Chain A
Amino acid sequence: MFQKPQQNGYIKDVETMIAPGVRVEGEVSSQGNITVEGEVHGSIKTDLHLRVGKDAKISANVRAQTAYVSGHVQGNLKVKDKLEVTESATIIGDIETKTIVVAEGGVIHGKLTMLTDAKTKELKTTFQKTESKALDGVVVE
């Protein structure tokens, strides 16, 4: 079901394409891949991959499984899996993602929160417990 993005964030089987010279206002929601090369104002939601081109201008809150940002985004980004930010990208807004790759020159203004999966959470809680017990003078094997 989920297709891995190819080089430069390009992907086959794009369901929604917003090309240059086109402006979209409102809630863009799709179960497939979305590519934005034009302007979007409102919100973008996809269950799969989002590609934001170099000349794209997005003024919207974004939710995606994976995202490749190369243009201008003003709004909060929630990316479940991996977010790739290129050297030409500008993001003004808070980011929530599991994995992030930022190229040299990529601009981010906002709070970055790294999402953790259940296992990471478990390890974190175990570590915290061990640490607190050690502080109480009890040695844990």
Chain B
Amino acid sequence: MYSYLYSEKLSHSSVHRAVAAIETRLHDLDIAGNICRLTPTKNLREVIQQELHRGVKTIVAVGEDSFVERVVTVLATYRNNAILGIIPAASGTHDIAQSLSIPFGVDACNILSYRMVRTLRLGKVNNRFFLSSVECSGMLSVSCNGAFTVTATPPNKMLRVRVTNNPYEELRSATSVPPLKLWVNPTRSSRLSLTAKDPQESFFLSQSFSVNAEDRLSITIDDHGVTVSPPLLIESSSVTLKMITGALRPSVRATLSRPPTPNKHSSPEQYGW
């Protein structure tokens, strides 16, 4: 049983034709379901709660990255067995879908029908969840697990900080969660240094990072920008989410220990993969 959550941006008249094409394709593939059109007055959490209460097994987020990220956060907090699918549509970035090898628009419906389900492990940033990365820059100091602090030298220099999570990395055990990777890069101080060689990146592995700054922080969570008050607590978590993904890139496939479990009624060759 499918439920389709439409982003607020899909109510715009410029995307009506694209939405109609997606709906037709879903009917053709016999995977059409209940459609919930989000509006600024509708609460996403309540909508998802209602759908899960109705016994929906697959929730599909139709929209851009920021919308998918909101759906991921809500769905991850319920910790039930609902599966999340994505149809990238509307204006905005679609990097989450791209990282999961899901094509834009109508073509994503084929991925949904193929139903290759993977369990992805999420990272946590303050009270939200993220799939792959959190980025921010400024006059920052980062504490790693409370053991040591990373700052720029000289102290007035800016730092660009990126914390990455490998969602495909499986839990080693119930108690041992794979660490996150922190990348620290001192930013260039002036335009004159544009020609200079890019500085080397520092990196550290840790279960949690705390980012401190004097002012409010503009951060990018899975390519979606938000502003938050420091400190920013980024930690690895044992929370997982089942997602419908496309064919994986060879590099990602190599990191996986388990082979995918495709639907017996369809095959990758059917879609020319």
Contact = CB atoms under 8 A, between A and B. Distances in A.
Interface in B169-190: 184, 186
A26 B205 CA distance: 15
Contacts of B186: 19-22
Interface stretch (A4-12, A36-44, A77-85, A112-120): A36-44
B18 interface: no
A138 to B, nearest CB: 58
Interface stretch (B106-114, B126-134, B196-204, B215-223): B196-204
Interface in B118-173: 147-153, 155, 157, 159
A108 interface: no
Interface residues of B, number: 19
Contact of B152 (A18, A21, A27, A29): A21
A42 B148 CA distance: 9
A20 B198 CA distance: 11
A39 B153 contact: yes
Interface residue tally of chain A, by bracket? 20 to 34
A28 interface: yes
A106 B19 CA distance: 70
A104 interface: no
Given A21-B199, A25-B148, A37-B200, A16 B205 contact: yes
B202 A38 contact: yes
Nearest to B149: A25
Contact of A24 (B149, B157, B205): B149
30 contacts: A16-B203, A16-B204, A16-B205, A17-B203, A17-B204, A18-B202, A19-B184, A19-B186, A19-B199, A20-B186, A20-B199, A20-B200, A21-B153, A21-B199, A22-B186, A22-B202, A23-B150, A23-B155, A24-B149, A24-B150, A25-B148, A25-B149, A26-B148, A27-B147, A27-B148, A28-B148, A30-B205, A37-B200, A38-B202, A42-B148
**5 closest pairs, A vs B, by CB?**
A26-B148, A21-B186, A19-B200, A23-B153, A19-B202
Interface of B: 147-153, 155, 157, 159, 184, 186, 199-205
